[in-house]
Structure 1
Amino acid sequence: MPTTELPLVSVIIPVFNAGEYLRPAIDSILQQTLQDFELIIVDDCSQDGSLAVARSYQDDPRVQVLANEQNQGRSFTDNYGAEHARGKYIAKMDADDIALPHRLQAQVDFMEQHPAVGLTSSFMQCFGESDIVYEYPVSGDAVRSFLLFNMPVANPTAFFRRGLMQEHGLRYDDTIKDTFGEDYEFIARVAQVVDIENQPDILLHYRTLPQTLKADVHARRNAKSNQIRERQLRVLGIPFNDRELHVHNTISYFPFTLGDITLAEVHDWLWKIQAYNQERRYAEPEAMLRCVAERWFLTCYLNPDKKTNSLREYRRRPLHKHYNPGTKLHAKFLLKSYLLRHF
């Protein structure tokens, strides 16, 4: 049962068949250096004993366990948890990840020092099948720029003022039953009413599992993301035709496979985005220019073509002047281009 004194942070963990990973995730929250929190665990009709694991923690007065009467999906479960939250802040947490001990303290400190920021997240260190670090745009304008292409926030470390839901009526779209873009859709609406900034620190270990998703699952996720991207372009106020929208969606997620799209089309579209942003000031112009210039580099780098010579095409277009890929990545691009043309 929750205590009568209001906590500073409400941590929400939605659970569906989390299995052996749930207990370490819960323990990582209970062992935080900041102890002024409540932990709300919401089980979405798990069939693997997850609910029993969650209930085994109910002797801790900080822990509240809720259970959906039927499987409702991630968005409904997140909203249900938020309806029971009493903290000044809401912290998101996935049921199979590990929060570093100082996560909550670092995020509280950041939000207290930046009263204009409504939502933050952090970098994440992968473990399991991968050990890469997921990094995200940091400044508010960099976040708004990146939002046109993809999710600019690490959802498992999302941390926001509960007042967003009270004052702006913001909720996850519970018509999205699967975990296919409900976080991206929510963040896109949050960005329209408050500033979002990310902390360039690793505050969570993100569990990566063997790749078992089928092609149709990827297709469904991309289809939802494409809808959100189209909506964001309309927020920016940039006109586009079907071909330009196809270009935009293609260069918005790895591996940027162009198919019949030419690099010239990609550059023309990215240049159009920054030109309209210059006029409309959706984001600070330098931030948007860096964002689209990075997208230009990545598209060229990931689409080597002996006939086109992507390195030459990259260099001859004006966007290349506005992004520095770093010495190592630039050298790999040079080597890839050389090998492709000479062997």
Structure 2
Amino acid sequence: MPSSSKPLVSVILPIYNAGEYLQPAIDSILAQTFRDFELILIDDCSQDGSLAIARNYESDPRVLVLANAQNRGRSFADNLGSEYARGRYIAKMDADDIALPHRLQTQFDFLERNPTVGLTSSFLKCFGESNIIYKYPLSADAVRSSMLFNMPIANPTAFFRRSLLQDHNLRYDDTIQDTFGEDYEFIARLAQVTKIENQPTVLLNYRTLPQTQKVAVHAHRNAKSNQIRKRLLNLFGIPFTERELVIHNTVSYIPLKLGDITLGEVHDWLWKIYVFNQQRHYTTDDAMLRCVAERWFLTCYHNTEMNINALREYKNGLLAKHYEPTFQLLGKFLLRNYLLRHFKK
């Protein structure tokens, strides 16, 4: 049971059938260089012995274990943890990831230095089935622009001021009872009342799933994200047709396969977002322009086909001049576009 004195940070770690991954996740928090924290473990009626693993840590005065009598979903667990939290800050943590030792100290220092920022997260280094690094937009305006398309933070490293929950009556939507979309929906609402900035450093090792599991997970998550993107477009105030909504959702989800959507339709929609932002001032013009220009490049890059010169389409678009892909990525685009159009039968 945590001590009576209030800690500076409350780490909330929901658990559901975390199995062999749980102990390393907990240990990575207890080994933090930052020491003034409490760790709240919420077991959501696991069936695999996860609760017993969590209870093994109850002798540590920093640890509190909560156990739901029935499975209530990730949002409920997050809300329950927040109700018990006593820290000035709340740090999110997943039951199968590994926090780097300096994670909490780095994020605490960042928000202490930046009082106008309400939430921060970091880059993620994948392990398991992948070793890539997930990077996220850094500035508040870049985060706000990117949010129209996708989750702009790394939820497993979300670190935010607990006062935001109290001052704005913010909670996770516990009608979303699975783990798909509850974080995106919550962050979208939180972004309307505070600035969000990310840190350009890896603070967590993120466990990736085998490809056979990943496909189903991503499909489920994207279906929920489509609903949230529609809400955000309405909040942004931009008028859109059903066709434009389909285009928007399609280019938000990598690999951005267009089907019967043309690249011209994509460019028209992305340009419409940029022009509308100039009137609406949802975020800065530069941030929005770079955001939609990058989306234009990625869409063309992922839709090189034998009967379409995607490279030419890309360069002809007004947005092309406002995004500079890396030399490596541009080289891959040139090669793919040439090979597919000249050698694929």
TM-score band by shorter chain is over 0.9
Equivalents in 2 of 1:256, 1:55: separation in Å?
44
Cα shift at 1:340: 1.6
Equivalents in 1 of 2:333, 2:265: separation in Å?
21
Aligned counterpart, 1:184: 184
Cα shift at 1:307: 2.0
Give the 5 Å matches for 1:274-293.
274-293=274-293
Cα shift at 1:69: 1.1
Cα shift at 1:2: 1.7
Summarize the Cα distance change of 1:214–1:5 in structure 2 as closer, same or farther, 3 Å threshold: closer
1:222-272 superposed Cα distances (whole Å, 9 cap, x missing partner): 221111101111111110000000000000011101000000000000000
Give the 5 Å matches for 1:32-111.
32-111=32-111
Equivalents in 2 of 1:219, 1:151: separation in Å?
15
Aligned counterpart, 1:270: 270
Q: Does the Cα contact within 8 Å between 2:308 and 2:341 map onto a contact in 1?
A: no
Q: Does the Cα contact within 8 Å between 2:306 and 2:342 map onto a contact in 1?
A: no
Equivalents in 1 of 2:7, 2:139: separation in Å?
28
The answer to whether structure 1 residue 26 and structure 2 residue 39 are counterparts is no
Aligned counterpart, 2:126: 126
Aligned counterpart, 1:310: 310
TM-score of the superposed pair, with normalisation by structure 1? 0.98
Equivalents in 1 of 2:298, 2:118: separation in Å?
30
The secondary structure found in structure 2 opposite 1:171 is coil
Number of equivalences: 343
Equivalents in 2 of 1:180, 1:151: separation in Å?
11
Aligned counterpart, 2:193: 193
Equivalents in 2 of 1:281, 1:61: separation in Å?
48
The secondary structure found in structure 1 opposite 2:212 is coil
The answer to whether structure 1 residue 152 and structure 2 residue 161 are counterparts is no
Aligned counterpart, 1:211: 211
Q: Among the aligned pairs, what percent are the same residue? A: 71
The secondary structure found in structure 2 opposite 1:17 is coil
Cα shift at 1:218: 4.0
The secondary structure found in structure 2 opposite 1:11 is strand
State the one-letter code of the partner of 2:29.
Answer: I
Equivalents in 1 of 2:88, 2:217: separation in Å?
36
The secondary structure found in structure 2 opposite 1:283 is coil
The secondary structure found in structure 1 opposite 2:80 is helix
State the one-letter code of the partner of 2:190.
Answer: V
Equivalents in 1 of 2:217, 2:203: separation in Å?
29
Q: Does the Cα contact within 8 Å between 2:15 and 2:50 map onto a contact in 1?
A: yes
State the one-letter code of the partner of 1:196.
Answer: I
Equivalents in 1 of 2:105, 2:215: separation in Å?
40
Aligned counterpart, 1:342: 342
In the alignment, structure 1 segments of 5+ residues that lack a partner are none
Cα shift at 1:217: 5.0
The secondary structure found in structure 1 opposite 2:211 is coil
Aligned counterpart, 2:3: 3
The answer to whether structure 1 residue 253 and structure 2 residue 257 are counterparts is no
Alpha-carbon RMSD: 1.0
Aligned counterpart, 2:174: 174
The secondary structure found in structure 2 opposite 1:41 is strand
Aligned counterpart, 1:233: 233
